[in-house]
Amino acid sequence: MKYTVITGASSGIGYEAALAFAARGKHLILAARRTEELEKLKSKLADIDKSLDVVIRTVDLSVSANVHEFYESLQGYSIETWINNAGFGNFASVGEQNLHKIEQMLHLNIEALTILSSLYVRDYAEVAGTQIINISSGGGYTIVADAVTYCATKFYVSAFTEGLAQELKGKKAAMQAKVLAPAATETEFAKRSFDVDQFEYEGTVPKFHTAEQMAGFLLELYDSENVVGIVNGVTYDFELRDPIYPYATRTRN
């Protein structure tokens, strides 16, 4: 049995991605902080296909010690696809941002994603049909005012994943690495970014996609041979692209 791992699966894009991959008959390993929400999702997935094996892991990946433990807990499973979706944002000027929150964001958006990507590549790079998909943002290609630190984390995700894709291709590895860069998407992202209890996208955000639409774009990227799936920040059309960042190969003497 082969599994698809999705982190940050209790809501938003991760939640809808779980439904989308389940509809394709994929066995799932779902990770998030909220056990109750994961249990609800598992129940909903059983309604889609009772034959699917759905494994849930309650874990806070912003805590560094948890990241290796989480990966080690999956050693008994054959993992076909790894989707690093867990992450959160922050809107505040650099001089006024909550540094405790920023530390957590750096641990989750950068550190956890890098460690999990590295461990998965180490174990599965030569396994046919494997993919790693990291969720970045339109803010991983454009700096947004009052979200400088968040965008910097997503620039890292985009550059790291594009570079990994180039590296795997250069080594003729079996695995594909891809990066999904959404624009505004109706999820819990805004609530956590602004530290508010409620946020209404309708009437507040001029253009946005639903999490279900983004999960559909994720599947388009998954099915493609492209490295980047990005939402055009002007038209809000979804585009499949080759790597965007320049990549310089190392010369050997």
User: Domain for residue 113, yes or no?
Assistant: yes
User: Domain for residue 39, yes or no?
Assistant: yes
Tokens of 193: 């970014």
- Please report the pLDDT score of residue 252 as a whole number: 65
- Please report the pLDDT score of residue 201 as a whole number: 81
- Please report the pLDDT score of residue 84 as a whole number: 98
User: Domain for residue 149, yes or no?
Assistant: yes
Q: Tens of pLDDT along 225-238?
A: 999 999 999 999 99
User: Domain for residue 196, yes or no?
Assistant: no
Indicate which CATH number applies to the domain containing 166: 3.40.50.720
Among 108, 152, 156, which Cα is nearest to 8's? 108
Among 218, 168, 189, which Cα is nearest to 4's? 218
- Please report the pLDDT score of residue 65 as a whole number: 93
Q: Which domain holds residue 137?
A: 2-183+209-241
User: Domain for residue 222, yes or no?
Assistant: yes
User: Domain for residue 197, yes or no?
Assistant: no
Burial class (CB in 10 A: 0-12, 13-18, 19+), 33: middle
- Whether the Cβ atoms of residue 61 and residue 82 lie closer than 8 Å to each other: no
> Does residue 142 sit in helix, strand or coil?
coil
For strand 78-84 and strand 228-231, is the pairing parallel, antiparallel, or unpaired? unpaired
For strand 238-241 and strand 228-231, is the pairing parallel, antiparallel, or unpaired? antiparallel
> Does residue 77 sit in helix, strand or coil?
coil
Query: Tokens 């994720």 map to which residue?
Result: 218
User: Domain for residue 201, yes or no?
Assistant: no
HSE at residue 126, side-chain half, CA atoms within 13 A, is 3
**Largest interatomic CA distance in the chain:** 59
Among 150, 85, 149, 141, which Cα is nearest to 113's? 85
Q: How many domains does the chain have?
A: 1
Per-block average pLDDT, block size 10, for the chain (253 residues)? 97 96 97 96 94 97 96 97 96 96 97 98 98 97 96 98 98 98 85 79 85 97 98 95 94 65
Q: Tens of pLDDT along 132-171?
A: 999 999 999 999 999 999 999 999 999 999 999 999 999 9
Among 253, 222, 230, which Cα is nearest to 83's? 222
User: Domain for residue 157, yes or no?
Assistant: yes
- Whether the Cβ atoms of residue 56 and residue 97 lie closer than 8 Å to each other: no
Q: Cα–Cα distance between 183 and 226 in angstroms, integer?
A: 18
- Please report the pLDDT score of residue 56 as a whole number: 97
- Whether the Cβ atoms of residue 92 and residue 98 lie closer than 8 Å to each other: yes
- In this structure, which amino acid lies at residue 22? A
- Whether the Cβ atoms of residue 32 and residue 8 lie closer than 8 Å to each other: yes
